[in-house]
C-alpha cells in the first residue's frame, strides 16, 4: 500500500486522545490513509465504513449499544486502548453528540474519522467539539507522491533539487505533463490508459459535482450552475468579477456568491486573495479563481493540452497539494502590473516559454519589498537577475 506525506503531520497526534478528522473530496485517498494508520496500530482497532447501511445503523443506535458491540465483537474491555476508524462520518445523524459523549466518557477510545464535504461536516460537527477535534485536509496526490505511485521513487527523491542533468529534467517533465493533464486522484494515477483516465474523471465529476454538490447546495438552476463551472474552468487564474459573471449567467450577486462559497467548501475551487501591505492604491479587491484539481478543470473544458491557463492552474494546485506555502496570493497594482503568485511573501512569475528577458513587475516588487524573485518556466533561459526554476523545483 502506498504511503502519503500527510501521515508525517498526523503521527504526533496518534498517541493523544484527540479526535482526528480527515476531510476533503471523495477519492483523494482518505480511506487508504486511515487503513495505513490502522496497520500500525499496536493493540486493538475497528474500522466502520458508514456507506455500509448496517454499520451506519449500529452507530446511529444508542451509545451503550455501540460500546457493547465493541466488547463482544472485539473482546474489548474499558481499560484497554482501542482505535476506532469511522469513514464518512457525515452520514451519522448526530456525529457531534456521538463523538463528544464517547470522548468524554471513555478515555481509552481514540477516534479517527473522515468526511467528504465541509458543508455537511460544518452542519453536523458543532462547536461543542472544540478542544477535542484536530482537522487534517487530505489533498489529492502531490507531484512527489504522484512519482512514487508511478514507481519512480528515484525521481521523487531528487525532483525538488535544481542541480540535475538535462536528461533527468526531461524525464521529470514528461511525468509533470501527465500530472497536469489528469492530476492526483490515486485511482486515476494508477490507470495507464488515457481513455480510462477520462472515464474515471467523468465518474468523479458526475458523482461529486453533479450529484453531491447540487444535493448539498440544493441547486435549482442546474443549467446556470453548470455554465458557471464551465466559465470558471475556462477563466481559471483570472480575476473573479462578480458583477460581470452574474450578468452573464443572469443570476443575482447573492446567488453567485453562494455558489462560489459552495464550490470552495466542496473542494472544487479556491479563491486566492491579492497580496497586500500598508501601501495604498496597489490592491485590487477581486480574487482570482483556481481549480484545486487540474484534471477536473481539464475535464470540464474537454481540453487536456498544457496551455497558459492549465500551466498556471497546475502550479497553483502543485503548491496547494504539497503544503508548500501557508499563504498563496497574487500581486496586481492599479496600473495592472501583475505577478502570478506571491508565496509566503515571495514573488513567483510564471512563463510557459521564458525568453530570458527582464520582467518589469518583478523588478518593481523587489524595489518596494526587497523580496527575492523567481521565474517558473518549462523552457529555462538564463537571466542572472532572477532565480529560474522548473515548477517541480519549488
Q: How far apart are CA 340 and CA 142, in angstroms?
A: 21
pLDDT, residue 58, reads 96
CA distances (Å), origin 86, targets 73, 130, 249 = 16, 19, 40
pLDDT, residue 282, reads 47
User: Which of 13-27, 52-66, 202-216, 217-231 ranks highest by mean pLDDT?
Assistant: 52-66
pLDDT of 281 above 50: no
- Ranges 83-97, 183-197, 363-377: which has the least confidence: 363-377
pLDDT of 386 above 80: no
- Ranges 30-39, 80-89, 348-357: which has the least confidence: 348-357
Q: What mean pLDDT is predicted for residues 159-175?
A: 80
Instruction: Assign 367 a pLDDT band (cuts: 50, 70, 90).
Output: confident
DSSP 8-class letter at 274: B
Start-end ranges of CATH 3.40.50.300 in the chain?
6-138
- Which tens digit of pLDDT belongs to each residue from 105-142? 999 999 999 987 666 666 666 666 778 889 998 888 88
Q: Which CATH class is domain 6-138?
A: alpha beta
The C-alpha cell of 375 is what?
Answer: 521565474
Please name which of 67, 7, 78 lies closest in space to residue 38, comparing C-alpha atoms. Answer: 7
- Which tens digit of pLDDT belongs to each residue from 74-109? 999 999 999 999 999 988 988 889 999 999 999 999
pLDDT, residue 118, reads 60
Mean pLDDT of the chain: 86
pLDDT, residue 127, reads 65
Q: Tell me the pTM.
A: 0.83
The C-alpha cell of 372 is what?
Answer: 527575492
- Which H or E element spans position 261? helix 253-265
DSSP 8-class letter at 203: H
Amino acid at each position: 500500500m502506498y504511503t502519503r506525506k500527510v501521515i508525517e503531520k498526523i503521527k504526533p497526534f496518534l498517541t493523544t486522545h484527540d479526535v482526528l478528522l480527515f476531510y476533503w473530496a471523495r477519492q483523494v485517498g482518505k480511506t487508504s490513509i486511515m487503513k495505513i494508520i490502522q496497520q500500525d496500530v499496536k493493540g486493538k482497532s475497528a474500522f466502520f465504513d458508514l456507506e455500509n447501511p448496517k454499520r451506519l445503523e449500529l452507530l446511529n443506535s444508542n451509545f451503550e449499544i455501540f460500546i457493547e458491540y465493541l466488547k463482544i465483537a472485539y473482546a474489548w474491555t474499558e481499560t484497554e486502548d482501542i482505535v476506532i476508524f469511522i469513514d464518512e462520518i457525515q452520514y451519522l445523524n448526530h456525529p457531534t453528540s456521538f463523538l463528544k459523549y464517547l470522548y468524554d466518557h471513555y478515555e481509552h477510545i481514540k477516534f479517527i474519522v473522515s468526511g467528504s464535504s465541509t458543508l455537511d461536516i460544518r452542519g453536523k460537527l458543532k462547536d461543542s467539539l472544540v478542544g477535542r477535534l484536530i482537522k487534517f485536509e487530505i489533498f489529492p496526490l502531490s507531484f512527489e507522491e504522484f512519482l512514487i505511485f508511478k514507481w519512480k521513487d528515484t525521481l521523487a527523491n531528487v525532483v525538488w533539487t535544481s542541480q540535475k542533468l538535462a536528461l533527468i529534467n526531461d524525464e521529470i517533465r514528461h511525468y509533470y505533463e501527465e500530472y497536469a493533464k489528469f492530476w492526483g486522484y490515486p485511482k486515476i494515477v494508477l490507470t495507464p490508459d488515457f481513455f480510462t483516465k477520462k472515464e474515471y474523471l467523468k465518474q468523479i465529476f458526475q458523482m461529486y459535482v453533479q450529484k453531491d454538490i447540487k444535493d448539498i447546495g440544493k441547486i435549482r438552476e442546474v443549467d446556470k450552475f453548470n455554465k458557471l463551472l464551465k466559465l470558471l474552468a475556462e477563466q481559471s487564474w483570472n480575476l473573479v468579477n462578480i458583477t460581470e459573471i452574474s450578468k452573464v449567467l443572469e443570476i443575482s450577486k447573492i446567488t453567485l456568491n453562494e455558489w462560489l462559497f459552495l464550490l470552495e467548501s466542496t473542494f472544487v475551487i479556491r479563491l486566492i486573495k491579492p497580496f497586500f501591505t500598508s501601501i495604498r492604491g496597489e490592491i485590487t479587491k477581486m480574487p482570482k479563481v483556481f481549480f484545486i484539481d487540474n484534471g477536473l478543470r481539464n475535464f470540464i473544458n474537454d481540453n487536456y493540452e498544457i496551455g497558459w491557463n492549465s500551466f498556471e492552474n497546475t502550479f497553483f494546485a502543485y503548491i496547494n497539494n504539497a503544503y508548500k506555502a501557508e499563504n498563496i496570493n497574487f500581486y496586481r497594482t492599479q496600473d495592472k502590473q501583475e505577478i502570478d503568485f506571491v508565496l509566503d511573501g515571495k514573488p513567483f512569475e510564471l512563463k510557459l516559454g521564458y525568453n530570458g528577458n527582464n520582467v518589469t513587475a518583478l523588478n518593481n516588487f523587489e524595489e518596494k519589498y526587497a523580496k527575492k524573485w523567481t521565474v517558473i518556466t518549462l523552457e529555462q533561459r538564463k537571466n542572472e537577475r532572477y532565480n529560474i526554476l522548473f515548477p517541480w523545483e519549488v
